[in-house]
Amino acid sequence: MLEFLDYEILRLTWWALLGVLLIAFAVTDGFDLGVAMLLPFLGRSDNERRVLINSITPFWEGNQVWLILAAGAIFAAWPHIYAVSFSALYYIIMLMLISLILRPVAFEYRSKINHPAWRTIWDWLIFSYGFSATFLFGVAVGNIIQGLSFSFNEFMVISYNHDFFSMFNEFSLLCGSLSVMMFLTHGACYLTVKTNRKILIRARRVLAFSPFLLMSIFAIGALFVQFLPCYKVISSAGIYSDSNPLSKIVTVGIGCLEDNFEQYNWMWIAPAIVFILQIFIPLLTILFFFKTAFIFSTISIAGIITTVGFAMFPIILPSKLDPKSSLTVWDASSSELTLFIMLIAVAIFMPLIVVYTSFIHKVMRGKITENDIKKNSKSLY
């Protein structure tokens, strides 16, 4: 094994890769879900709504690959985190999956009958899957930040003590609202690139206020965390130790999620980027720099997710039931050999996915118009 890729570096690399995969999912599937939420409001006629639907249908399947890849990476690189999160958040994850499963069903069945009432029903179902999947994604992250109710016994058997309705608390609802505004803004930016005329004008109207709502919710969340419990590792077996979550001591405090930012000032770049770029998005759309606005929205999403990762490091999954059972970068990973072999696989396949995704967007570049819908009425959704 390469000397510079020791166990510490491999664990940090996979922590960063996990963030990259979550960002890739949020950025790519984010505009799909954002357009779905905007469908009943920006599309005033059947043709306009078909424009909105067909602006995302060539891409949604490829975009969803990032979610599958992230889940697979968690399973192989962070088995404890996979086991705990997918069990403790079981009902939320199942509702998210049901929402995402509804997406292709809604696209297919909407076009089966050319009747206003039939299509209106499916339009609102498209909105509902977009909103529910996005909102639940934020709720899940909000619960992870606060800590999940799990613990390990001396035999590393996991036990849970959680209530479904308690997961919808004030902070998790705030995170869900932030997720909705994040994807809605991203979807509106995407529509300024892919559509024209009336839909483009309406998307610009959304972008006149949605970035400011996003920044407001983000700022309220930053204030809210001052009153939330936070978890700090004060003693562990070491960064080169085996993956044993019980080999450390964790204390619980209040309002210490900013400690990493105070210790490493460069981390403030992540939240600062969110505010700086979101401020410019409305101005860019007024000046017709639509692609730049979309890029700014993309970087902002990366900034939000990175901010969460920086605030929680080195803990990935805190336990409010037994703080010592919290899972960190150093004690929740697979073996050194597994991480190394998987890194080679990622180095081979991730560039292929990026190249393929880029190729599809290049082939399908350009705006879709109502004339395109009329000319290809039988082949488009």
Task: Give the position of tokens 């192989």.
Answer: 76
Residue 18: what pLDDT?
A: 92
Of 295 and 159, more confident: 295
Q: What is the pLDDT of residue 4?
A: 63
pLDDT of residue 242: 63
Does 249 score more than 90 pLDDT? no
DSSP 10-35: HHHHHHHHHHHHHHHHHHHHHHHHHH
> What's the sign of the alpha-carbon dihedral 259, 262, 263, 269?
positive
* pLDDT at 98 (0 to 100): 92
Lowest-pLDDT range of 131-140, 200-209, 346-355, 368-377? 368-377
- Which of 50-59, 192-201, 360-369 bottoms out in mean pLDDT, i.e. has the lowest? 360-369
Q: Where are the domains of the chain?
A: 18-155+163-334, 339-365
Percentage with pLDDT > 70 across the chain = 97
Q: What number is the average pLDDT over the span 12-34?
A: 93
User: Per-residue pLDDT tens for 341-373?
Assistant: 999 988 998 898 889 888 888 888 888 888 888
DSSP per-residue letters across 183-208: HHHHHHHHHHHH--HHHHHHHHHHHT
Asked whether the predicted pLDDT for residue 2 surpasses 60, the reply is: no
Whether the predicted pLDDT of 81 surpasses 60: yes
- pLDDT tens per residue across span 211-231: 999 999 999 998 998 888 888
Question: Mean pLDDT, the chain, as a whole number?
Answer: 89
What is the pLDDT confidence band of residue 193, given thresholds at 50, 70 and 90?
Answer: very high
Q: What is the distance between the alpha carbons of residues 239 and 243, in angstroms, rounded to a whole number?
A: 10
Q: Are residues 281 and 287 in contact, defined by beta-carbon separation less than 8 angstroms? A: no
Total Cβ atoms within 10 A of residue 230: 22
Q: Which CATH class is domain 18-155+163-334?
A: mainly alpha
pLDDT of residue 304: 96
With cut-offs at 50, 70 and 90, classify the pLDDT of residue 236.
low
How many whole angstroms separate alpha carbon 233 and alpha carbon 165? 29
Residue 103 above 90 pLDDT? no
